[in-house]
Amino acid sequence: MPTYDYRCRDCGHTVEIMHSILEDGPDACERCRGPVERVLHPTGVIFRGSGFYVTDSRRSSATSESSGDTGSGSDG
C-alpha cells in the first residue's frame, strides 16, 4: 500500500498515512483539527540512451539551415 503525506494548512503539522488509493485521507489535523492537504513530492527522472541530447537529435547542418531562415514559417 502507498504512503501519503498530509500537511495541516493551519499549524503545518505533517503526518504520513498508509492507505489504499481508493480510500480518503484524513479530514482534519490530529493536533489542531484544521484542514489538511496531501503533499505531492516530485519524482526524479533520468533519461538514458540516445535521443535525449541536442547532439543526438539534430543533424550537424541544422544550425546553418535555421540561420538562413527568412521567417516564412509559422510564428505560433
For 20-62, the pLDDT digits (tens) are 989 998 999 999 999 999 999 888 888 777 766 666 655 656 5
The whole-model pTM stands at 0.55
Report helix, strand and coil shares of the chain as percent, to nearest 5: 15, 20, 65
Q: Residue with C-alpha cell 533519461? A: 47
What is residue 12's predicted lDDT score, i.e. its pLDDT?
A: 93
